[in-house]
């Protein structure tokens, strides 16, 4: 008799949600559950949802509906599971009453309780069934490391605090221990993620923790320094995401210049005009942001700055949009993502005056990205002739596809690497190679491997 118990798993949303999914899958594997490739093969389906913008909500609901139709036994977790209406009623329960159980994000124990209720564990846990680094949903050579959960900001366009709660920091010892396990498992690039990476430790009042018998303050700069020193032992990269432009970011840039962490800073600015930022409830102004970026570039000339912006935020005038465009012409941000404003149910911005028509939101985004594409093209052209260290992601005929320090996986560009003549061995994913850049467009680069 086949006693295997199989669970189908669908993970939607951002890297923070991906980390939650990895934790759930790790526990499932430890308890002897198997993963199913199709709904038909599954005894139960878990769906980790996203509920940040309308498109993500729609995708989550479509996935839940499909799983219910194909399988019938569905547990829902993630941000959409935490969504409530004005009366405090659960959103998913109202629209999908046949779902077995619903939890919010970062709810490992609640998810496992739901699994045990509807599909009792096959046996007692055997930890040796799980690799030391846990179950990962990324390629073997890079991994996301979530250092905190939740956010203390109250941005008017965002509902993350209502879905994931206020900031809760992981202990510095736990973070460093997980990083070491990942490095030992072969990870060559560790990407730090959270809702607000720069605020790491605020809720703990930066109390002192311990790692390898040494005191380490629960603060992002000391964490980054310790991670950088640990990464050096394994010849690996540390990359930071979602860093607000706090004053102490200057110390992180110093670590970048010293080579401890990658000179790559993901700073979600969202806009530049002070009145728009005020309506968004975002800190500082375009002038202050520009001053900070110029200072970072003085401190670390090789730094790559990535950011995201919103066009057509409620009340955005032609003059405010022109201000943003002028800011970007001067700032010359290396990597930039732009989104037309999308109303999110429950967000305070929905009640602001003078909403911008959708067509204008889209038109402004297109205009901004056309300008940014030219900036990106010029910046990448400047790298032609330089030799860069490239982390290979995928071997291909005659070489590999990889990334430089300036390229985060899936959101930035890639480098197409050509092997030197006479080199017979295949390049492997997760291998560092030196590459002389020979060509570039607005997004990607091409180069030849230097033996």
- Per-residue pLDDT of 398-407, as tens digits, reads 999 999 999 9
Residue for token digits 């730090």? 192
Token code pair at residue 26: 């790790």
User: Residue 137: its pLDDT value, please?
Assistant: 67
Residue 127 pLDDT class (50, 70, 90 cuts): very low
Position 243 scores a pLDDT of 94
Q: What is the mean pLDDT of residues 22-51?
A: 88
CA distance 1 to 114: 25
- Looking at residue 240, its pLDDT comes to 96
- Tell whether the model's pLDDT for residue 99 goes beyond 60: yes
Average pLDDT, rounded, for the chain: 90
Feature table: binding site for [4Fe-4S] cluster: 14, 50, 79, 151, 155, 158
The confidence score (pLDDT) of residue 134 equals 63
**Confidence band, pLDDT 50/70/90 cuts, at residue 169:** very high
What average pLDDT does this structure show over 166-190? 93
Rounded CA gap, 234 and 182, in Å?
10
What tokens were used for 434? 């030196």
What is the tens place of the pLDDT at every residue in 364-379?
A: 999 999 999 999 999 9
For the annotated binding site, the residues are 14, 50, 79, 151, 155, 158
Q: DSSP letters along 237-293, please?
A: EEEE-S----TTHHHHHHHHHTTSS-SEEE---B---HHHHHHHT-SS-HHHHHHHH
Pairing of strands 432-440, 387-396: antiparallel
According to the model, what pLDDT value does residue 237 have? 98
In contact, 266 and 242? CB cutoff 8 Å: yes
CB atoms within 10 A of CB 424: 5
Q: Which helix (H) or strand (E) holds 70?
A: helix 54-70
pLDDT of residue 123: 55
Residue 240 or 140, more confident = 240
> What pLDDT digit, counting tens, does each position of 313-349 carry?
999 999 999 999 999 999 999 999 999 998 887 889 9
Q: Enumerate the H helices of 303-357 as residue ranges.
A: 318-331
Amino acid 131: pLDDT: 56
Question: What digits encode the pLDDT tens for the residues 278-313?
Answer: 999 987 666 789 999 999 999 999 999 999 999 999
Highest average pLDDT, of 73-82, 163-172, 430-439, comes from 430-439
Q: How deeply is 108 buried, as exposed, middle or buried, from its count of CB atoms within 10 A (0-12, 13-18, 19+)?
A: middle
Give the pLDDT of residue 74. 94
According to the model, what pLDDT value does residue 31 have?
82
**Interatomic CA distance for residues 393 and 139, integer angstroms:** 8
Please enumerate in sequence order all residues whose Cβ is within 8 A of that of 382, keeping only pairs 6 or more positions apart, or say none. none
Query: How many whole angstroms separate alpha carbon 95 and alpha carbon 349?
Result: 24
pLDDT of residue 344: 82
How many Cβ atoms are within 10 Å of 30's Cβ, its own excluded? Answer: 17
Q: What is the pTM of this model?
A: 0.76
């Amino acid at each position: 008799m086949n006693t295997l118990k199989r669970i189908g798993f669908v993970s939607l949303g951002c890297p923070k949600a991906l980390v939650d999914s990895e934790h759930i899958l790790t526990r499932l594997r430890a308890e002897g559950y198997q993963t199913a490739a199709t709904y038909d093969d599954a005894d139960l389906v878990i769906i980790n949802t996203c509920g940040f913008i309308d498109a993500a909500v729609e995708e989550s609901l479509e996935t839940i509906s499909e799983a219910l139709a194909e399988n019938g036994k569905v547990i829902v977790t993630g941000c959409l599971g935490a969504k409530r209406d004005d009366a405090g009623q659960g959103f998913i329960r109202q629209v999908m009453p046949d779902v077995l159980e619903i939890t919010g994000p970062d709810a490992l124990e609640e998810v496992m309780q739901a699994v045990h209720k509807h599909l009792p564990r096959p046996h007692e846990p055997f930890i040796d069934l799980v690799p030391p680094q846990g179950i990962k949903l990324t390629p073997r050579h890079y991994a996301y490391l979530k250092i905190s959960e939740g956010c203390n900001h109250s941005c008017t366009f965002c509902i993350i605090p209502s879905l994931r709660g206020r900031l809760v920091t992981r202990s510095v010892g736990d973070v460093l221990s997980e990083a070491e396990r990942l490095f030992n498992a072969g990870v060559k690039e560790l990407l730090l993620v959270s809702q607000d990476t720069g605020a790491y430790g605020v809720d703990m009042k930066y109390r002192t923790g311990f790692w390898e018998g040494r005191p380490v303050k629960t603060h992002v700069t000391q964490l980054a320094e310790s991670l950088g020193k640990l990464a050096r032992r394994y010849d690996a990269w540390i990359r930071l995401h979602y860093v607000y432009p706090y004053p102490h970011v200057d110390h992180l840039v110093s670590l970048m210049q010293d080579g401890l962490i990658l000179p790559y800073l993901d700073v979600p600015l969202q806009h530049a005009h002070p009145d728009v930022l005020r309506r968004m409830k975002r800190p500082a102004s375009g002038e202050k942001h520009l001053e900070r970026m110029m200072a970072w570039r003085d401190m670390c000339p090789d730094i790559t700055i990535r950011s995201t912006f919103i066009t057509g935020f409620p009340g955005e005038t032609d003059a405010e949009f022109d201000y943003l465009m002028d800011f970007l012409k001067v700032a010359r941000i290396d990597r930039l993502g732009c989104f037309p404003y999308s109303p999110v149910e429950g967000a305070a911005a929905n009640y602001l005056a003078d909403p911008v028509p959708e067509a204008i939101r889209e038109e402004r985004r297109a205009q901004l990205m056309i300008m940014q594409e030219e900036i990106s093209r010029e910046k990448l052209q400047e790298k032609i002739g330089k030799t860069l260290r490239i982390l290979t992601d995928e071997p291909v005929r005659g070489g590999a596809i990889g990334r430089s320090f300036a390229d985060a996986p899936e959101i930035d560009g890639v480098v197409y690497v050509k092997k030197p003549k006479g080199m017979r061995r295949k390049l492997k994913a997760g291998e560092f190679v030196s590459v002389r850049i020979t060509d570039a467009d607005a997004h990607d680069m091409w180069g030849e491997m230097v033996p």
